Structure 1
Amino acid sequence: MKQLLLISMVALAGCGATTQKPIPDDPYYAPVLPEMQPNPVIRSGSLFQDGYAQNLYSDIKAHRVGDIITVELSESTSAKKSAKNEIDKESEVGLQTPILMGSPLTVNGNEVNASIAMENSFSGESDADQSNSLNGSISVHVVQVMANGNLVVRGEKWMTLNQGDEFIRLSGIIRPEDISTDNSIPSTRVANARIQYAGTGAFADAQEQGWLSAFFNSPLMPF
């Protein structure tokens, strides 16, 4: 038993040591830069040429691969759940005195009879209350323009604060119609959104369980 416990601890320690923590400049969140396509200048006498991205009548909203859009984070979730169960069960069985030859059956002058009574009860109650909120902003790149015109966006923001790093990562799909005139969109309008907010460093490490505490709180513990 001691050997099994020691092997389990070593295995958990190895798993914890191989856990990869997020690092800046992840290739998945790297910015997508549009390719420069030279446009031949046609001497037509006009101040503007067809094919140029920006002119007096163009929109500043993001619509191409490599464009940048600001996502306003305004996430708020709240969940509350309560449950209460009560179960009661009673049962009783009685055996009357048998009649033998017209007379009650007796043993040493006492009538033979029996009775069994059983009662079970169970009561359980649970409550859960959780709320989260995230506010701020992050600028992301358009990494793909879908066939229906929707934009796939992805990006990250890293901030070094004292003894650790804080980062925000976001990816999802947005509709060009939801982009406001200042080239921003609320996070509630991002479809299939994946938002990560966490940190690294001494403060983040202090909030994590040690490998021994994780073992005793894991499903492997039978107690």
Structure 2
Amino acid sequence: MRYLAVLPFLALAACSDLAEVGRPPAFADTAPTLEHHALYNVPIPQVAERAGATDGASLWTASQRSLFGDRRATAPGDILTVVIEINDSAQISNQTARGRTGSQSMGVPQLFGLPQSLDRRLPEGVSLANAVEMDSASSFSGQGSVSRNEQLTLRVATTIIERLPNGVLRIEGTQEVRVNNELRELIVTGFIRPEDISRRNEISYDRIAGARISYGGRGQITQMQQPRYGQQVADIILPF
């Protein structure tokens, strides 16, 4: 019965894959994202009229777009660049050994002559002189090692989608690059402080709180690296 309940889901998954036969993977729609909402709901700043004709020749104005203006992102709808440079490596090796041996014996060679009296009534070869004798031994050995090396260098433009009451900014950014029939997706979300944004309007990934960085893809190569749906379902249902 379990297999019959899974069949409709397998059919739907197969139909979605068959619809992409002969076609490159489609880009995701940006309309329903929080990025899109923040960009399309930012009020347009009103440009104040200049007081004099000589103001147009001045190098300094209070505007953010002036020569010496602060162009760092500060409000919802502003865009900043996240620099991702991950170069991590870790090596862990553990080894454990444990051993234990024990020996116990108990006998009643002399007890008011009772053992000798009972030995005559016991079968031949049985004696209370060595009534109980026990030996035990146990050993354990364990060994484990972990070796990991990750390197990733990326730059992605993100959008401020929310400014929290304490001044912290919530950012979200997506990037899709399609080469032939393979689509690479990069997603970055998290929380940042305005003072951590550099003068170049950039921020490093290690200054993002609650960072969620996803780098993956969709396409023919990715499909070939994944087991088929039937095999995945069998691995979950089968107990052995």
TM-score bracket for this pair, using the shorter chain length? 0.7 to 0.9
Instruction: Return closer, same or farther for 1:163/1:148 CA change in 2, 3 Å cut-off.
Output: same
2:28 alignment partner in structure 1: 24
2:20 alignment partner in structure 1: none
Q: Return the letter of the residue paired with 2:52.
A: G
5+ unaligned residues in a row in structure 2: which ranges? 17-24
Instruction: Return closer, same or farther for 1:56/1:79 CA change in 2, 3 Å cut-off.
Output: closer
Residue deviations 1:166-208, cap 9 Å, x none? 0111112222222222222222222221111000011111121
Q: Return the letter of the residue paired with 2:211.
A: A
C-alpha root-mean-square deviation of aligned residues, in Å? 3.5
Matches within 5 A, 1:1-223: 7=2, 11=6, 14=9, 24-26=28-30, 27-31=32-36, 32-33=38-39, 34-39=42-47, 41=49, 44-45=51-52, 47=55, 53-99=64-110, 102=113, 104=116, 105-106=119-120, 107-112=122-127, 113-215=131-233, 217-218=235-236, 221-223=238-240
Question: Are the equivalent residues in 2 in contact too, given 1:93–1:116 (CA < 8 A)?
Answer: yes
Identical residues among aligned pairs (%): 24
TM-score when scaled to structure 2? 0.71
Question: Are the equivalent residues in 2 in contact too, given 1:144–1:151 (CA < 8 A)?
Answer: yes
Q: What secondary structure does 2:33 align onto?
A: helix
2: CA distance between counterparts of 1:214 and 1:129?
Answer: 27
TM-score when scaled to structure 1? 0.76
Question: Are the equivalent residues in 2 in contact too, given 1:39–1:52 (CA < 8 A)?
Answer: no
Instruction: Return closer, same or farther for 1:135/1:29 CA change in 2, 3 Å cut-off.
Output: farther
5+ unaligned residues in a row in structure 1: which ranges? none
Tell me the matched-pair count: 214
Q: Return the letter of the residue paired with 1:45.
A: G
Q: What secondary structure does 2:70 align onto?
A: coil
Residue deviations 1:76-99, cap 9 Å, x none? 333333333333233333232554
Question: Are the equivalent residues in 1 in contact too, given 2:10–2:229 (CA < 8 A)?
Answer: no
